[in-house]
Structure formats: structure tokens, C-alpha cells
Chains A and B, each alone.
Chain A
């Protein structure tokens, strides 16, 4: 799995590439620069709008250079707009969902890739297919199942699973297990079986083979998948939209659905809210870009 080691092509294929390096590529640069500028405009515009006070844009118009810049819109969205709360909700959903997904998927992947068992392929197909379904296909039954599952009010104030973080965590986990199992099982199959055989001779049981031998070797794949899943689940819009009714429990990605109503055409505040939503992904991207890119290409390295 060399994509993991070197996700972005840089120096490889030197022979083929060095022939081209003498050329100037003016046309290519012009095209790429134009595209890159076009690519950045929507984000740049949001940031520019977010940094300007509403009074200034009202006075000079949105398309203008006058007035001052400040983080006031960000502060207002954070404190009065409830974005601090939404971000905490996102954390409360994303962290357990990612950990559970990786835990269950790695167990499943270990079982189907390292142990000889009759239904390996059947199970793997079932897991992979499940991940590819459009979520809307399952929406009605899941909603009704959660609604009709009575729970004590001390556990959930809705008396059922609706409006709880657990519902979102459970469904996110179930949905993402398929993809992670597929990727991890491919990764584990590529590991030499001498590793576990040696452990077997020493009398190590299945759990020790999984936990002490295979899992540590899968660290690069787990890091890549973990980063990817954090972004996937943080970006999930649909399940909280379906299951969570109280606005103050929404994670940030779903909460931006209410921005328009909440901020009443105050585009500066809406832009600031959008930028706040973007910050966690940006931090993860800058810190773990390698892992994220590797995770995205992992799934496609086989096909």
C-alpha cells in the first residue's frame, strides 16, 4: 500500500518527469492559476464578508473596500449564535462514533482477513454494500424504530431514542463500519501471516494476536482512517437532521441549516458562522493532511 507512504506524488517517477522539467509550462501555469483563483473565490468572499461589520457593508455595500475589519462577527456567532454549544455537540458525537467505528471495524477486518472462515466474503460484501447505500433509504424505518423504542425518562427526556446523541452515534457507526472494515481487511491481508503464526506457536490466543500483534501494525491505516472518519462524521448533516429535534443539541454541521432564520439575512454573521464551522476541518487538514489524503486514496487502491 504505497499510497499510504507517499500520498502526494512528488519525486517518484523521476525518469519520466525529469524530461519535462526543462520545459516552461506557461500555458499550464496560466490555466492552473485561473482555476485556483476561481476555486478560492467562494471561500475568500465568505471570509471577507465575515470580517466586516454589518454597519460597514450596509453603508458601502457588500462589494466594496471601505470600512474596518474585525472578528466581532465571529465573537457574536460564537457567544450569541450558540456556535460554542454546537461545536461541543459535534465533539460529543464525533469522538465516540469514530472510536467505536475503528474498534468494531478492526475486529471484523481481523476476523475476515486473518482467520479461515466460510462466510468471510459474504460478510465483507454485506459490510461494503451497506456503506454505499444512500442514507435516505433507511431514514423512515430508523426514525420509527427509534421513536417506538420506549426508554425511561431518566435516560432520555423524549422517552425514546429520538433527540439523543446515542441515536446519531449508533447510526453513524453502523454506516461507517462497512467502509473501514473493507479498507482494514485489505491492509491486514497484506501483512505476513508468519507474524500471527509465531504468536500462535507461543500459545497466544486470538485476542492477543489481534490486540498485541495485528492492531499495532495497522497504526498507519488506523491513523489515516481515523482522520478521514473524523471529517466524515463531523461533516454529517443528515442523521442529526433526522433524529435530533431540539436546536440546542444539534452538531455544528446540521446547525448551519438554521443560520438563515437565526441571523435574519445578516450575511456577515452567516459568513462568520460558516467560517467557524470550517475551522476544525481546516486544523485537521493542516495538521494531518498526509493521513487524510492517504485515507481517501486507501479505499480506491483496490478495485
Chain B
């Protein structure tokens, strides 16, 4: 399951030597055969050049197309610009942020929807995926068939999921209203069109995909749990529920962390499905969709769009930093 277990413990462990520790770690001889380790470090000039290209090219791509634009986003959020001529960029101080928070009607609904989206994924979709994984981890007949069925939506893009559920939710031709017996009557609900219900309908569609993904990750996690732990718990008289919550679930800590991070990031990245439905308007406002609404179309307000992008960035950094500390903090301490 984990690569960490296979690695020999690093010989030198002070956090300051982080970079050195990782490289030394893959080398079993680092502690035992110092002579050999020294030989590895010696690189010819040609090797150094090759390495510089191997590191330099991907790093350049990453800096140019990911991190530089991120910095530009921050810079543009303090300016006023219509996106046409570079000379027209005017400093605007914090005006864009003030406008977004005070005078931009869809902003607070969008914040609420993002929080609701996160809560729905965290409280319904993720536990559902965990439940499916636990049930399917038992040796029951047809487990693989069930797994394949629950897993199918994970392969689909959220955009395609929006189209498929639109066919299901449609007021006049969708299956749901036929099943509810309201099709063709005035009580028929337009599930993606009615601003009172469409966020819930969209979250159900997103759950369809998220639960399958969580199930898959937990199935791998459950398999990594040492079976002797369960046996020890059952010898101690724990029932199935106690065994799960007190022994198995805590033992899956690495998977739990990944799932927490994925759930938060997925809820911040939710964009495709609302954009497919109605471009993120009329009850489906999300921060990510507002960013794009301000960037494309005729009334380009790059400054306002960038301010929204920076707000999205700052919120995203919370789970990202948490994940990085969990992953790489352990690496340097090991």
C-alpha cells in the first residue's frame, strides 16, 4: 500500500537537510557504504548539463504556465482593465475587492453555494462512498459488478454528467418527473431551471461521481489495513461497528487525509457542471463560475474577475497547504 513503508529510514533526519534526506533515502548503502555514496554524487560536466535540462524544462513550463499566471492574477486584482490594450491597465487599489464584497450581488450567494457544496460532499457523498466501500470490502457475491457500476460515473467529465442529468431532470421529457407522477402537470418541477432546487439537483449529480471516487480510494485503503488488527479487536470482544470506528478507520489515516483534501478541492473546483447547466447563474452561482463570467463576453472586467480569482486562490490554499505539510513535512522528519 504505502511506499513509505518500503523505504529504509533516512540516516540523517534534521529538517534542515530535507532535500538531501530524500535523495539519500532511496539509497540503501547511504549509511553502510559511505565510499559508494560518494561515488554516486560525483557527476561529470555532461551529466550536470543533462540534469539541468531535465529539471529546467519542466520547471520552466510549470513556472511560465502555472505560477507566473497566479502572480499575474494577484497583480491584476489591484487594477482596472478591459483586457484590450496593455497600456490601459490602471491601478485601482483595493476597489475591486470592495466592489465584490459590497456591491456585487452574486458574490455572497456564490460563497454560500460553495460552502453548501462542500457540506453536501463532506456529509453525504463522502460517507456514502465510505459505506459502499465497507460493504463491498466484505466477501459478497458480485462485489466486482457492484464496484464497476458505482465506479462508472468517475470516468465521466462533470460536463457530460451535467448533460446526462439534464435529460433525467428535464421538466417535460425527463424521467424523474414521470417517476414522481408530476410530468405534464403544473406541479412538475424544472429541476435544473428552478432556482430554489437547482443547486440541490446539481449536488446530487455531483455526488453520483464523487461517491464512486471515494469508494474506490477507500477500497484500496481498506485492503491496506493489517488484518491482524481486526482479529485482535474481535478477540477483545469488539463488535463490527466498534472495530470499524476504533480500529480500521483510524488505521486508514493516510487515505482519510487524501479524501478530506480531495473533497474540499473538488467543491472549490466545481465549475463544469454549473457552467453546462446555465453558466452559473440563477441559483447556481459559484465563485469559479463568477470568475469566468467577468472574464469572457463583452463587458470584460479583468480586475473584478481577478479579485474573485484571488479569493478563490486564498481559500484553496488552506487545503493545499494542509496537504503539503502532511505529505512533505513527514518526509523531512521521517
Question: From A178, which residue of chain B is reached at the shortest CB distance?
Answer: B62
Residues of B within 8 A of A200 (CB): 39-40
Residues of B within 8 A of A91 (CB): none
In the bound complex, do residue B271 and residue A136 qualify as a contact, i.e. CB atoms below 8 Å apart? Answer: yes
Question: From A44, which residue of chain B is reached at the shortest CB distance?
Answer: B175
Whole-angstrom CA separation of A116 from B307 in the bound complex: 40
Chain B: minimal CB distance from A183 (Å):
10
In the bound complex, do residue A193 and residue B58 qualify as a contact, i.e. CB atoms below 8 Å apart? Answer: no
- Chain B proximity mask over A285-303: 1 for CB below 8 Å, otherwise 0: 1000100110011011111
Whole-angstrom CA separation of A236 from B151 in the bound complex: 19
B58 in complex: contacting residue of A107, A134, A147, CB < 8 Å:
A107
B312 in complex: contacting residue of A136, A141, A193, CB < 8 Å:
A136
In the bound complex, do residue B271 and residue A238 qualify as a contact, i.e. CB atoms below 8 Å apart? Answer: yes
Of A34-42, A66-74, A78-86, A150-158, the one contacting chain B is A34-42
In the bound complex, do residue A274 and residue B167 qualify as a contact, i.e. CB atoms below 8 Å apart? Answer: yes
In the bound complex, do residue A303 and residue B326 qualify as a contact, i.e. CB atoms below 8 Å apart? Answer: yes
Residues of A within 8 A of B165 (CB): 42
Residues of A within 8 A of B213 (CB): 296
A136 in complex: contacting residue of B175, B230, B288, CB < 8 Å:
B288
A190 in complex: contacting residue of B6, B23, B159, B167, CB < 8 Å:
B6
Of B69-77, B103-111, B118-126, the one contacting chain A is B69-77
Interface size on A, residues (CB 8 A): 133
Contact A12:B223 (CB < 8 A) given known A125-B328, A193-B26: yes
Verify if B227 is at the interface (C-beta below 8 Å from A).
yes
Verify if B241 is at the interface (C-beta below 8 Å from A).
no
Residues of B within 8 A of A117 (CB): 19, 23, 51, 55
Contact A108:B295 (CB < 8 A) given known A118-B20, A142-B69: no
Whole-angstrom CA separation of A117 from B170 in the bound complex: 57
Residues of A within 8 A of B261 (CB): 132
Verify if A25 is at the interface (C-beta below 8 Å from B).
yes
B156 in complex: contacting residue of A196, A270, A278, CB < 8 Å:
A278
Residues of A within 8 A of B155 (CB): 231, 235, 281-282, 284-285, 292
In the bound complex, do residue B316 and residue A115 qualify as a contact, i.e. CB atoms below 8 Å apart? Answer: no
* Interchain residue pairs with CB less than 8 A apart (5): A9-B137, A144-B72, A187-B3, A297-B216, A302-B327
Chain A positions within 8 Å of B, measured between CB atoms, are 1-3, 6-10, 12-13, 15-18, 20-21, 25, 28-29, 31-32, 35-36, 39-43, 45-46, 49, 57, 62-63, 104-105, 107-108, 110-130, 132-145, 147-148, 170-171, 173-175, 177-178, 181, 186-194, 196-197, 200, 205-207, 210, 231, 234-238, 241-242, 253-254, 256-257, 259, 267, 270-271, 273-274, 277-278, 281-282, 284-285, 289, 292-293, 296-297, 299-303
Nearest 3 CB-CB pairings of A with B = A235-B157, A141-B72, A174-B65
